[in-house]
Chain A
Amino acid sequence: MIEREKIREIFKSIVLCILLVALVCLCVVYILSFSGAKTYEFTKNDMEKISEGSLRTEYLSHWDVSFASPAFVGFSSKNEGENIGFYTLGGENAEVYAEVFPLFEKLFGKDGYSEKLDAREGETLFRSLLAGDYIYLSYASDLPLSVIVSMTDREAVYQGMSDEYISELLIVPKDYLGKIVSDEDETRETDIYSFYALARDSHGNYYRYSTEFIPANGRDPAFHKNYYLTYIKAENRLPYEFACVWEADDFFTENGFSKKVKDTSVIPLTGISRPTVFSESYMMTETEMADLLEVFSLNPEKASSYAEENGNIFYFEKGKHLCFQPNGVMIYNLHNTEPLPLENIFPWSFAKEDYGTADYLVASFLMVKALSEANAETECDFYISGIYYDGETLKICFGYAVSGLPVYFEGQTDMIVFEFSSGVLQTAEYCFRIVQKTSETRAAQDFVWALRSLILKNEESRRYFYGYYVSEKQSYFDVLVLEEKQP
């Protein structure tokens, strides 16, 4: 009896142990399988953020580097002969500009760092570098460095607006690193160098951009003469010299050439030819007006209109209004009653609280494209002719370019002007002109001869360059030597 009792107790103890172990096991199963079940590593909120980010990648399809391409790119290799340059405004000779993108990435990316130079030190250094090997880039106006960099580097698109504005950039060799065998031609050896850049704006501020990156092999971005050799036989190359190192004759010397001509004015050593341009401004037709109304989200069918005595025609709909002036100028929101939200400009659904430079730039690119489509007769490229930011309002101006050269309309380049702030387009102004290349190509005005007469009449320092000068007096225009007063 006692034995049976003992066995029963032992059995109960074993069952108790099993039940306790089972309880522990169930707890472990619960903890491992279910307590963390709702702690997802990727949630619906993450998906929402990505959807927004995915929409931003839509930007890239409208992110056109040609809008911020330089006006001129020059290569110098002193041992190889004359300097060669290319007019690149509005995306002309885009492949030439693209050559420097890998260098930009190293200078302005995570490996790069910058310092502002004293004006005198900067000027001396800049002048001395112009006498050696370099890659030179000159932009149409002072552009924020962030805009220049973000237009060339996909990964830098979303950075904010930088305080550094630059108009000219020199990329020069630093330390000799040895010889490499060219990827294209294995028999060709090239000396490669590390590099740095010196930039300045039109107000005489100088910046030096250096990089910690040191090229290690032939595929790495480096300074070498292959950039020069690639284009030495290009048909559209322009042999040139900068004014500061050009051997001016006695006439120029006696008439103050060095003081009156900006050091980096490009003196072409051969003539250039460009197509003759036809241009005229006129009051838009009703069809063209209707197309422009649609660009600004006004319904041509529903918008009301009235004409003022001075010839201005207003179209308005729910506070939004467009003014068409007799001289071909169109102004959106002249009376500042109804700005245009950015989501009305973007072809994709997109709204957020904080808008940045990238949003405004893309909106302006979309608008420029839409406006140029409304002016179908015009055949020209567009470029950013100015960017101004006061911390709140971003003003972006666009000019016309033909065959890599700027088109000046009675001395003005800004043909399309947008003002953005707080996620809306505050105002827009569009100078509606026809600009067409004709089939006739003519030699441009002789640069040196034109310069002789120009420096006689000018006293201050000026930059001299080739461009089209369009006026109301005539309809056909050839390339002339133009001048720009220096600040």
Chain B
Amino acid sequence: MHWKDLKTFAIAVLFIVNTAFAVFIFNHWYTDTYYRNTLIDSSLSVFEAGGLHVDRSFLEKKKEKPPVYMGTAEFDRFSEIAERLNDKSYLLKKEKNGIYLIGEQDTFFFGYDFSFAYGTGAFSGKTSSLLLEEGWLLLNEDGQKESSERIAEKFLQKLLPADKKFEYAVICLAVYGSGEERIAVFSQTIDDIPTEHKLYCLISDGKVIGADGKISVIAPSERKKAENTGLCNILFEEKAYIDSLEESERKPSYTVENISYSYGTYFDENVFYFIPLCKITYEDGESRIYNFISGEPYEP
């Protein structure tokens, strides 16, 4: 074959190979990023048949691939909080279930399981239990709502490590009021994704006088690319749960209103993990949370 023809032939072969390879890569990327329409159609029909109504848009969205965070929860790392508070008047006391920082006016407790409590002379009870009592109203527009939120946020922020690699923050979920007192409910976030850690701060006279809940005051040390079970499988798990219900317990229909992602903490000896969770919320407010890695129901 002449050199010129060989060049033409090479161009033709390379064009075909490149095109095929590009199509292959695109398909690979697409199936890795989105569910195929045929799969969505067949899945939705199975869900519908079981009384589970899922909007197509949930499955058409880009697949979520949240990472797993991990770190160690040893005593030495908990004691860093004492330095962070930058107040030498606190006496650090190590107990079986966590550490206490005992000051003249107030006491902090940080549990090894990330449980948290803060008490002062003005209030030493459990703030979260206060909400169960009557008289607390959810505040929508209130002059003190914003200031209460700011006071509690400032209080909680000083407990969080200033780690920029994996950033912790707190977001306010709600503020309740009763008389002059306010309770601000916060959720801790990691890299802007909420966790199942809820914090309750009691505010009175412009300062936090009591708090409890769960908070991680130790930054994770690693972020890991994680295999996950996928939203479609989670929905199949949910359908299996609905199918397992007795006729008397079952509602006529289940319409998914929202699907959201968060993180839950798991402990294995002194190592903690932030594991991605998937929450399915129905129109009537009922919700269930699944471990996004294993696909099993999550029990906090």
Q: Do B266 and A44 have beta carbons less than 8 Å apart?
A: no
The A-contacting residues of B in range 2-27, CB under 8 angstroms, are: 4, 7-8, 10-11, 14-15, 17-18, 21-22, 25
Task: For the complex, give the distance between the alpha carbons of A19 and B8 in Å.
Answer: 12
Q: Do A49 and B268 have beta carbons less than 8 Å apart?
A: yes
Q: Does B164 interact with chain A (Cβ within 8 Å)?
A: no
Could you say which of A55-63, A365-373, A466-474 contacts chain B?
A55-63
Q: Do B268 and A16 have beta carbons less than 8 Å apart?
A: no
Q: Does B28 interact with chain A (Cβ within 8 Å)?
A: yes
Q: Does B61 interact with chain A (Cβ within 8 Å)?
A: no
Number of interface residues of A (CB under 8 A): 45
With A16-B14, A57-B268: A47-B294 Cβ-Cβ less than 8 Å: yes
Q: Do A47 and B293 have beta carbons less than 8 Å apart?
A: yes
Q: Do A183 and B7 have beta carbons less than 8 Å apart?
A: no
Q: Do A219 and B25 have beta carbons less than 8 Å apart?
A: no
With A53-B268, A155-B270: A23-B94 Cβ-Cβ less than 8 Å: no
Could you say which of B118-126, B191-199, B222-230 contacts chain A?
B222-230
Checking B14, B293, B294 against A19 with a beta-carbon cut-off of 8 angstroms, the contacting residue is: B14
Q: Do B21 and A26 have beta carbons less than 8 Å apart?
A: yes
Q: Does A102 interact with chain B (Cβ within 8 Å)?
A: yes
Task: For the complex, give the distance between the alpha carbons of A157 and B112 in Å.
Answer: 14
Q: Does B267 interact with chain A (Cβ within 8 Å)?
A: yes
Q: Do B91 and A184 have beta carbons less than 8 Å apart?
A: yes
Q: Do A19 and B18 have beta carbons less than 8 Å apart?
A: yes
Q: Do A33 and B229 have beta carbons less than 8 Å apart?
A: no
Residues of B within 8 A of A34 (CB): 25, 28-29, 32
Q: Does A351 interact with chain B (Cβ within 8 Å)?
A: no
The B-contacting residues of A in range 25-63, CB under 8 angstroms, are: 26-27, 29-30, 33-34, 37, 40-44, 47-54, 56-57, 60, 63
Q: Do A41 and B224 have beta carbons less than 8 Å apart?
A: yes
Instruction: Identify whether the interface residues of B are mostly helix, strand, loop, or mixed.
Output: mixed
Residues of A within 8 A of B296 (CB): 51
Residues of B within 8 A of A43 (CB): 226-227
Checking B22, B67, B227 against A26 with a beta-carbon cut-off of 8 angstroms, the contacting residue is: B22
Q: Do A16 and B10 have beta carbons less than 8 Å apart?
A: yes
Q: Do A12 and B21 have beta carbons less than 8 Å apart?
A: no
Tell me the minimal C-beta distance from B78 to chain A in angstroms. 11
Q: Do B226 and A9 have beta carbons less than 8 Å apart?
A: no
Tell me the minimal C-beta distance from A267 to chain B in angstroms. 33
Residues of B within 8 A of A51 (CB): 266, 294, 296
Q: Do B269 and A155 have beta carbons less than 8 Å apart?
A: yes
Task: For the complex, give the distance between the alpha carbons of A219 and B80 in Å.
Answer: 13
Instruction: Identify whether the interface residues of A are mostly helix, strand, loop, or mixed.
Output: helix
Checking A13, A23, A42 against B224 with a beta-carbon cut-off of 8 angstroms, the contacting residue is: A42
Task: For the complex, give the distance between the alpha carbons of A26 and B18 in Å.
Answer: 8
Q: Does B97 interact with chain A (Cβ within 8 Å)?
A: yes
Tell me the minimal C-beta distance from A82 to chain B in angstroms. 27
Q: Does B273 interact with chain A (Cβ within 8 Å)?
A: yes
Task: For the complex, give the distance between the alpha carbons of A102 and B75 in Å.
Answer: 11
Tell me the minimal C-beta distance from A134 to chain B in angstroms. 22
Q: Does B127 interact with chain A (Cβ within 8 Å)?
A: no
Task: For the complex, give the distance between the alpha carbons of A37 and B68 in Å.
Answer: 16
Tell me the minimal C-beta distance from A355 to chain B in angstroms. 17
The 5 closest A-B pairs by CB, nearest first: A53-B268, A19-B14, A41-B224, A40-B227, A42-B226
Could you list 26 examples of A-B contacts with CB < 8 Å? Answer: A9-B4, A12-B4, A16-B10, A22-B14, A33-B25, A33-B29, A34-B29, A40-B226, A41-B224, A41-B226, A42-B224, A47-B275, A49-B268, A50-B266, A50-B268, A50-B275, A53-B268, A54-B266, A54-B267, A56-B269, A57-B268, A60-B113, A154-B97, A155-B269, A155-B270, A157-B269
Task: Name A's B-contacting residues (CB within 8 A).
Answer: 9, 12-13, 15-16, 19-20, 22-23, 26-27, 29-30, 33-34, 37, 40-44, 47-54, 56-57, 60, 63, 65, 98, 101-102, 152, 154-155, 157-158, 183-184, 219
Given A40-B225, A41-B68, A157-B269, 7 more A-B residue pairs with CB atoms under 8 Å apart are A16-B11, A19-B14, A19-B18, A30-B28, A50-B273, A52-B268, A60-B96
